[in-house]
Chains A and B, each alone.
Chain A
Amino acid sequence: MSKVVACGIDIEELARFDKHAEGAEDALLRDICTEREIGNLRSDRRLHLALAFSCKEAMFKALGASWLNSGISFKEIELLFGGPGFTGYEIELSGCAQEILADQGCDKIDVSLEYNKEYVIVQIVLLAPGIGMNG
């Protein structure tokens, strides 16, 4: 049994990522994603970028931080897909993000991704060994 330490939720409008997914324009992608994430890029580039950004924002919120106030970099939060399309996902932390997670005693990250034609929503739940929700 695990206890919930914190959660973070982020919602993004897909249309806001249109201009970042066209042609060779990949500045935002290269700013927030690691080489490993870029190598894992799915064919729906706009949806992938929106999910990655939303996932990182949700993780910042769960850690009680922002990239502008914590020393955590977007690239310390990686979203990787192991299955076809946007399935089989997992999140990996490194650097300051990993340190903050460890300081909170967390040993597990529960990630939930949802999307439709207009929005993506990501929920991150940080879990630690324990006896229940508030135990």
Chain B
Amino acid sequence: MPEVTEEMKKEIKDIVYDFYAEECEVERASLNDDTNVIEDIEGDSLMFLELLEIFKKKYGLAVELKSIGKYVLKHPSDTLGKLITLTELIVEKGDAIGDMD
């Protein structure tokens, strides 16, 4: 699994912000790390799956959705900031994310 560099962190944040701005038809400038994906900008499950596909393709990840679900069960990722953290962990840990406390 690749180490998540500062450059990658910036790239991940840009992709997440650009993705939700476009999909939810909101100004990117109106988004911040505390934006609630469902309540504030009406994001949904399919969007999250599509975002994961972008990262899986970009970083060559082969992570199972079930592993991500196990992690999110313990660490709800309802804001953009938490989604970015989740994405960094998926890139760094892969399927092992499901075994994290």
Contact = CB atoms under 8 A, between A and B. Distances in A.
A73 interface: yes
A32 B65 CA distance: 8
A70 interface: yes
A15 to B, nearest CB: 12
Nearest to A27: B53
Contacts, number: 45
Contact of A73 (B45, B46, B53, B65): B65
B70 A31 contact: no
B65 A28 contact: no
A66 B37 CA distance: 15
Contacts of A57: 45
Contacts of B52: 31
Interface string A42-67: 00000000000100010000000011
The 7 closest A-B pairs by CB, nearest first: A73-B66, A68-B72, A27-B53, A67-B69, A68-B69, A69-B73, A31-B65
Given A53-B46, A67-B65, A70-B73, 20 more contacts: A12-B46, A16-B46, A27-B56, A28-B49, A28-B50, A32-B49, A32-B65, A66-B45, A67-B69, A68-B68, A68-B73, A68-B76, A71-B66, A71-B69, A71-B73, A72-B69, A73-B64, A73-B65, A73-B69, A74-B65
Interface of B: 45-46, 48-50, 52-53, 56-57, 64-66, 68-70, 72-73, 76-77
12 contacts: A12-B46, A27-B56, A28-B53, A67-B65, A68-B68, A68-B73, A69-B73, A69-B76, A70-B73, A72-B69, A73-B65, A73-B69
Interface of A: 12, 16, 27-28, 31-32, 53, 57, 66-75
